[in-house]
Amino acid sequence: MPGQAMPMTNETGRGWIHLRGVSKTFAPGPAGCTALREVDLDLPQGAFAVITGPSGSGKTTLLNILTGIDRATAGQTWVGDWRLDRMGEEELARWRGQYVGIVFQFFQLFPTLTALENVQLPLELRPALPARVRRERAAQALAEVGLLARSDHLPAQLSGGEQQRVALARALAHDPLLIAADEPTGNLDSAAGHQVVALLQEIHSRGKTVLMVTHDPRFSHAATHQVELLDGRIAAPAASRAA
């Protein structure tokens, strides 16, 4: 696996996130479904990119390809110095476990584990870390999202907004370079949704690259860049909203 240095651009000037001609077809053949069509995209390291578009436009597929969960049918996918489309499944899993934090719409918390235990899960993949350090890092991540006082609560004892904040703490626990959030507000009321987006903005302010899929245009204000998809294509170049 390449080293940890991950520059914003390489000598050719490509973005830290760089896609060229990326397509994704499920079940190839006459009955296949093409989710992405020849997508080109460049984003700098440290961006907060909001990915929008109607249902079925390919938003989640794009996020899954950028996080190594799924693999493009065609094209190049770069994140920093890593070319994901040339990496094997085990290598992708190791890369994702070290450098990517993922937040899902439906929280994906284990119901029989406490908030602290859920947050510790990514750290369990690092047996070289002493148990005490893993617990301290998980507690710190919970503190960052304002839930340290609820560390011993089970998910059923938490509100939806609190569960999503635990999921965000879990994504942060191993200090990833990239945070990817797939409709993180889609299962929340308005107040809780705004709180989660505010936390993502705070995380971005510390130098993290954040990708957020959303169907809600109210949250586009959080972005430094906006990516709009339509029928599997980029509807317009990734527009920078930075001053």
pLDDT of residue 4: 33
What secondary structure does DSSP assign to 135-155, as a single string?
HHHHHHHHHHTT-GGGTT--G
**Structural domain boundaries, residue 129:** 45-71+88-240
Q: Is residue 20 part of a domain?
A: no
pLDDT of residue 27: 78
Domain CATH for 210: 3.40.50.300
pLDDT of residue 239: 62
pLDDT of residue 129: 83
pLDDT of residue 237: 59
pLDDT of residue 120: 94
Q: Is residue 23 part of a domain?
A: no
Q: Which residue shows structure tokens 């503190």?
A: 143
Q: How many domains does the chain have?
A: 1
In DSSP terms, which residues pair with 50 in a beta bridge? Answer: 212, 226
CA distance 242 to 44: 12
Q: Is residue 26 part of a domain?
A: no
Q: Is residue 116 part of a domain?
A: yes
The dihedrals phi and psi of 59, each to the nearest 5 degrees, come to -60, -55
- Chain-centroid distance of CA 75 in Å reads 21
CA distance 97 to 125: 8
pLDDT of residue 208: 95
pLDDT of residue 59: 95
pLDDT of residue 215: 86
Q: Is residue 192 part of a domain?
A: yes
pLDDT of residue 221: 84
19-35-41 Cα angle (round to 5): 20
**If the chain, 243 residues long, is cut into consecutive pieces of 10 residues, what is the mean pLDDT of each piece?**
36 82 84 88 96 92 96 96 95 93 91 96 82 93 95 96 96 94 91 93 94 88 91 78 52
DSSP H helices in the chain: 59-66, 89-99, 115-120, 131-144, 160-172, 190-205
Q: Is residue 207 part of a domain?
A: yes
pTM assigned to the model: 0.88
Q: Is residue 12 part of a domain?
A: no
The dihedrals phi and psi of 208, each to the nearest 5 degrees, come to -75, 150
pLDDT of residue 149: 96
Q: Is residue 211 part of a domain?
A: yes
CA distance 224 to 52: 13
pLDDT of residue 10: 44
The pLDDT tens digits of the residues spanning 111-127 come to 999 999 999 998 887 77
